């Protein structure tokens, strides 16, 4: 097998590494032993050192045990990026449990369903959300509900102002089973001895994350300590800038990506803390508040999704900001269009940050990132090079055979971060994890791409988004790239729409600028696509929206747009 990407690595980037045989808790404890007095997390105006953070984690582990926790128990953490989420994640890991990460705004029915599916009976939830969900959350399956306040780890003044502002929304915490407030839970640690750190195989289940899987169907992905730690060990090469060892204490990172998402949990939390990098917790994204945090804490590392970059460009508070402190900006989680990339890099340079956005590629089935653009050889239009000990190949969609450079096919990945499998779904696991003739287990990602001659990966799109018009493949991302270049187009998404004899056709949803006229813009889009693409790519319908719908993690909600497209198709059939 050829590894052309290694020739394109930064000079300091290692091809191979040694990966620790210990838990995530032990990885952060090791970092704490080296950075004891350094700041670990900042939350509003309060900062915890590594020593203080470890004390909170160990106290929480005592409290969990006193409340009946047993090794291998599944604890559901349904919290935003607040200190309790960090503390509980590592306390549960310390005790040999499994963290089931859920979106903090999940409806009650989804929480109960998810907890039954994962056999989780203990729930940590934001107090304001508990009031919103009310009695619908109470189910005989759930043994313990622990409401957590966003104010608990704020400084005194900020906490007082917060409580005054949000008291009505939060309401009173219920007393009696199954409820127990977070402070009352921690009080159970008083007088308890520290439980022994649980020793477990580091390749056993440690985290449950939830994703659409490689086929678009909801899946629970099972990940281990070893996989998270492997990604953390790969970190110094990613944030290096020369052959000199990286002093992680000079770095800081804004943890804006949510912890229920692989990118936010593995990169934004665990990798940073394992390396001694201070993280600034941001529980909720608004452009104004985020801009305030950036100006105040001056992070050196920023990892985000395209919508975050758009928000920064538009934020009034950043118009005159000095961003020269930024050394590394990473984009993942969704495709960054060339136009947005150019706009954001121009924005960064205008504000003193002489850097480029480094795009990467990954999926939850491999914890998160597998490739990233190097610091020196950042190549636009690609999602970078395979990380240390990660291997890529492009396989034919017809027969699964490896394809040469430049040929389009399914992206396949293997390496130390490959998941254990899908929870209680052996068929889906077999479909995604396949052993090849080389004896390695490869993730068939369900994504289309190719490797160029230098080993850079070019991501084209999710395979499930291919639209076959009369059997001819049409790629929505190509339509979108073309349409977004037309003056008057602010945002665009192409999806499949049912057709009586072509089976599928293209439906294009457009957000236009205020000065654009819809009929003229429609004509311009149709003319441009007809001129530059196959006739099959010409949209059968173009509809205008005020904004494109987004998923909980900030991606364009393709499934919601497909529902709209089906409705358009049905109306057309009834009218015809």
Give yes or no: residues 71 and 181 share one domain.
yes
Both tokens of 476, joined, read 């929505």
Give yes or no: residues 373 and 484 share one domain.
no
What's the pTM?
Answer: 0.85
Q: What are phi and psi of 477, to 5 degrees?
A: -60, -35
pLDDT digits (tens, 9 = 90+) for 511-547: 999 999 999 999 999 999 988 887 888 999 999 999 9
Number of domains in the chain: 3
Residue 561 lies in a domain: yes
CATH number for the domain that contains residue 84:
3.40.50.12780
Residue 540 lies in a domain: yes
Strand 74-78 relative to strand 120-126, pairing: parallel
Q: How far apart (Å, rounded) are the C-alpha atoms in residues 274 and 5?
A: 27
| Domain limits for position 481 | 466-575
Chunk the chain into consecutive blocks of 10 residues (it has 576) and report each block's average pLDDT, rounded to whole numbers.
91 96 97 96 96 97 96 97 98 97 87 94 94 82 95 93 85 85 95 85 95 68 98 95 86 93 94 96 89 95 88 91 96 82 96 96 94 96 97 94 96 98 96 95 96 96 77 82 94 91 89 95 94 87 95 85 93 58
Both tokens of 152, joined, read 């608990």
Strand 489-499 relative to strand 503-512, pairing: antiparallel
Convert 111-144 to b/e letters by CB count within 10 Å (16 or more is b): bbebbeebebbbbbbbbbbbbbbeeebbbeebeb
Q: Which of 165, 200, 235 delimits the end of a domain?
A: 200
Give yes or no: residues 288 and 172 share one domain.
no
Give yes or no: residues 455 and 388 share one domain.
yes
pLDDT digits (tens, 9 = 90+) for 355-399: 999 999 999 999 999 999 999 999 999 999 999 999 999 999 989
Beta-bridged to residue 449, according to DSSP, are 409, 459
Distances in Å between the Cα of 492 and the Cα atoms of 4, 356, 479 are: 35, 24, 9
Beta-bridged to residue 496, according to DSSP, are 506
């Amino acid at each position: 097998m050829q590894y052309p990407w290694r020739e394109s690595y930064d000079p300091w980037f290692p091809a191979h590494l040694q990966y620790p045989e210990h838990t995530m808790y032990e990885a952060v404890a090791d970092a704490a032993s080296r950075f004891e007095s350094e700041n670990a997390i900042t939350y509003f105006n309060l900062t915890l050192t590594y020593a203080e953070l470890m004390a909170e984690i160990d106290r929480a582990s005592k409290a969990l045990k006193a409340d009946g926790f047993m090794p291998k128990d599944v604890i559901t953490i349904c919290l935003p990026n607040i200190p309790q989420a960090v503390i509980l994640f590592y306390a549960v890991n310390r005790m040999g449990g499994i963290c089931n990460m859920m979106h903090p705004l999940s409806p009650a029915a989804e929480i109960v369903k998810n907890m039954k599916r994962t056999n989780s009976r203990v729930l940590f939830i934001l107090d304001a959300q508990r009031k919103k969900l009310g009695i619908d959350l109470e189910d005989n399956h759930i043994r313990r509900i622990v409401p957590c306040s966003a104010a608990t780890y704020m400084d005194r003044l900020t906490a007082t102002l917060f409580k005054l502002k949000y008291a009505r929304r939060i309401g009173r915490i219920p007393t009696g089973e199954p409820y127990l407030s977070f402070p009352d839970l921690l009080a159970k640690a008083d007088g308890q001895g520290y439980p022994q750190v649980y020793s477990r195989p580091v390749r056993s289940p440690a985290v449950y994350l939830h994703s659409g899987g490689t086929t678009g169907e909801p899946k629970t992905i099972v990940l281990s300590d070893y996989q998270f730690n492997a990604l953390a060990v790969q970190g110094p090469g990613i944030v290096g800038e020369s052959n000199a060892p990286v002093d992680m204490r000079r770095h800081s990172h804004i943890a804006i990506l949510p912890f229920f998402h692989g990118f936010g949990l593995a990169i934004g939390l665990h990798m940073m803390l394992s390396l001694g990098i201070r993280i600034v917790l941001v529980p909720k994204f608004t452009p104004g508040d985020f801009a305030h945090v950036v100006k105040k804490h001056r992070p050196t590392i920023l990892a985000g999704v395209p919508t975050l970059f758009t928000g920064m460009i538009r934020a009034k508070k950043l118009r005159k900001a000095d961003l020269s402190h930024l050394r590394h900006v990473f984009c993942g989680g969704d495709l960054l269009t060339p136009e947005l990339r150019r706009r954001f890099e121009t924005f960064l340079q205008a504000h003193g940050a002489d850097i480029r956005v480094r795009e990467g590629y990954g999926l939850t089935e491999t914890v998160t990132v597998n490739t990233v653009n190097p610091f020196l050889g950042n190549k636009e239009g690609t999602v970078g090079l395979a990380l240390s000990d990660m291997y890529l190949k492009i396989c034919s969609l017809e027969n699964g055979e490896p394809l040469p450079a430049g040929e389009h096919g399914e992206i396949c990945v293997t390496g130390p971060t490959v998941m254990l499998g899908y929870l209680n779904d052996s068929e889906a696991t077999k479909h995604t994890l396949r052993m090849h003739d080389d004896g390695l287990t490869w993730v068939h990602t369900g994504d289309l791409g190719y490797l160029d001659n230098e080993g850079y990966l070019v991501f084209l799109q999710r395979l499930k988004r291919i639209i076959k018009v009369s059997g001819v493949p049409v790629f929505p991302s190509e339509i979108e790239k073309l349409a977004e270049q037309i003056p008057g187009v602010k945002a665009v998404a192409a999806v499949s729409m049912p057709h009586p004899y072509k089976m599928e056709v293209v439906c294009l949803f457009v957000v236009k600028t205020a000065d654009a006229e819809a009929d003229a813009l429609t004509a311009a889009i149709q003319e441009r696509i007809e001129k530059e693409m196959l006739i099959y790519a010409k949209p059968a319908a173009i509809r205008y929206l005020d904004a494109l719908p987004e998923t909980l993690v900030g991606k364009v909600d393709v499934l919601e747009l497909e529902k709209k497209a089906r409705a358009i198709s049905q109306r057309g059939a009834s009218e015809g």
